Amino acid sequence: MDVSGGQSVYPLHRCKTIHLVRHAQGIHNVEGEKDHSAYLARHLFDAHLTPLGWQQVDNLRKHVQTSGISKKVELVITSPLLRCMQTAVGVFGGEDSTDGIDVPPLMVTDAGDSNRPAISSSNCPPFIAVEGCREHLGVHWCDKRRSISEYKPLFPAVDFSLIESDDDVLWEADVREKIEDVASRGIEFFKWLWTRKEKEIAIVTHSGLLTHTLAKFGDDCHPDVKSEICSRFQNCELRTMVIVDRSMVGSDSSATDYPGKNPSGEDAPSDVTCATPDGLPN
């Protein structure tokens, strides 16, 4: 009989805190809201943020600073599309870059028609771009990325080393990625997170990837909890969640557990239910 009341207990070192962020408003969102077929337009290639989108970035930045999230995040992962990288560095990056600071900026001045000053890489976590958290691939030109060699001068302090191809070999003009394949890619991305040592990670990605991936989770929860997990993200929305390693994918040992019996001594339990079937204490 389940007497847990819907609760679960897991070792802390088998959990990670992830801050999921959908990018701020892009030019494609504005046109697509009026006419969905606009997503097929070539001029929306690798869509950048709108001025309203940058206001959303500024507001989320204030939130992550006042809430203390910015001090806890150990790594920022971003989709390698312009709107996500602009959102990621704007929210989680250092203060505006100034002359005399001898470190490469996260973003140079006016990158991607931003009309924004450079953003410093000082006093902030590292940033890496990962293909696995890209938007629904194919057909929509806003979801096609530029070459990595074009991005590097715009985002000098973002790490692109995990991306194997300079050109976008994943996006196809006449083939839209199947929804189940988007979800599978997202789940593989979540599994990949367990290869990282960081315990608190911010991920800046896309509505489609988030919607289809998170829909695979929460079926064993109360419907309200399921809704908290997988309802559609708004532009520049942040949700903090915990992922749990129930299948021993990760290999990190606990940094807080303590083995006890130091010094060693007799410790037979007084409660017989604490003994193992062979009579030995747990």
Catalytic residue, chosen from 23, 48, 140, 206, is 23
Cα–Cα distance for residue pair 60/56, rounded to 1 Å: 6
Pairing of strands 200-205, 75-78: parallel
| Tokens encoding 80 | 């390698």
Answer yes or no: 23 catalytic. yes
For residue 15, the tally of other CB atoms under 10 A from its CB is 13
DSSP string for residues in 216-242: TS-TTS-HHHHHHHHSPPPTT-EEEEE
Residue 8 burial (CB count, 10 A): 8
CA distances to 135, 147, 155, 175 from 46, rounded to whole Å, are 11, 11, 15, 17
With b for 16 or more beta-carbon neighbours within 10 A and e for fewer, the 149-181 pattern comes to: eebeebbbbbebeebeeeebeebeeeeebeeee
180 belongs to the catalytic site: no
Question: Is residue 151 within a helix (H) or strand (E), and if so which, with residue range?
Answer: helix 148-154
Question: Residue 231: what are its φ and ψ, rounded to 5°?
Answer: -65, 155
Angle at CA of residue 37, ends 27 and 185, nearest 5°:
75
Residue closest to 77 by CA, chosen among 161, 240, 203: 203
The catalytically annotated residue of 19, 48, 131, 135 is: 135
Residue 154 and residue 108 in contact, taking contact as beta carbons nearer than 8 Å: yes
Q: What residues are labeled active site? A: 23, 135
